[in-house]
Amino acid sequence: MIQINKIPNFDASKLAQIKAVFALSNPGTKFKYTRHNVGALFVEVIAEKNSQTLIAEKNFSFFELNIGSKNIIFSRTDTFMNSSGIGLKELMKKFNLKPENVLIVHDELEKDFPKIGFGSGSHKGHNGMRSVFEQTGATTFYRLKFGIGRPENKNDVPTFVLEKFSKDQVDTLIETFQEVLTSLETFFQEN
């Protein structure tokens, strides 16, 4: 079982400020199970497991869910990855959110599958995060990163992130997502 406070770079003070979870992704069924869309898959699985329907706005979709003692907005961009910041900027405006209120969920090349970690700071070449920084003018977002591994050849990264997870990997992710949600519930009940 995943314990949220045991995930690398966990920071209780940052997580306690979260009011929204925002997933970076590419839109459409073509990209649904790709490595780059692990954030959107996280939000979609949480919605399905809790009988929620994503409400579509212009450039993002969302639903609200009580987690522990908090109401959290779960959302994903409906733009392409490299324009993810547009959807986030609109979400922040609609719900009057500051950067410290948003937990961004995305894929992480620097972590092996299925490791997870928290973090902040540089976009490290992630174009979705680059867009977030450019559109919002902020670089301080707390992030939940799902490891997808890295191909041996650096030039293979664009193809690698758009490849689909195997059925076994999807099953592992769904189990991991549920454990993360359970840990978040415990955290927000206690904080």
pLDDT tens per residue, range 124-170 = 778 899 999 999 999 999 999 999 999 999 999 999 999 999 999 99
In this predicted structure, the answer to whether residue 123 has a pLDDT above a threshold of 80 is no
Q: Does position 83 have pLDDT exceeding 80, yes or no?
A: yes
Is 191 a residue whose pLDDT tops 90? no
Predicted local confidence at residue 120, as pLDDT: 86
- Would you name the residues annotated as active-site residues? 36
- β-pair partners for 61: 56, 76
Model confidence pLDDT, tens digit, residues 28-78:
999 999 999 999 999 999 999 999 999 999 999 999 999 988 999 999 999
Task: Evaluate if residue 88 carries a pLDDT over 80.
Answer: yes
Could you give the domains of the chain?
4-190 (3.40.50.1470)
Rounded mean pLDDT, 103-107: 96
Once rounded to an integer, what is the mean pLDDT over residues 86-93? 98
Structure-token pair, residue 154: 């650096």
CA of 78: how far to CAs of 60, 84, 86, in Å?
A: 5, 8, 9
| pLDDT tier for residue 96 given thresholds of 50, 70 and 90 | very high
Q: What is the pLDDT of residue 139?
A: 93
Q: Which helix (H) or strand (E) holds 55?
A: strand 55-56
Distances (CA, A) of 143 to 107, 109, 179: 10, 14, 17
Indicate the pairing of strand 20-23 with strand 102-108: parallel
Distance of CA 112 to the CA centre of its chain: 17
- Nearest CA to 142 out of 4, 3, 20, 1 is that of 20
Burial of 78 (0-12, 13-18, 19+ CB in 10 A): buried
103: pLDDT confidence band, cut at 50, 70 and 90? very high
Q: From residue 48, how far is each of 43, 51, 68 by CA, in Å? A: 9, 5, 18
In this structure, what token pair is assigned to residue 3? 């314990």
Cα 17 vs. chain centroid, distance in angstroms? 16
Non-local CB neighbours of 156 within 8 Å, separated by 6+ positions: none
Under 8 Å between Cβ of 79 and 59: yes
What's residue 178's pLDDT?
A: 92
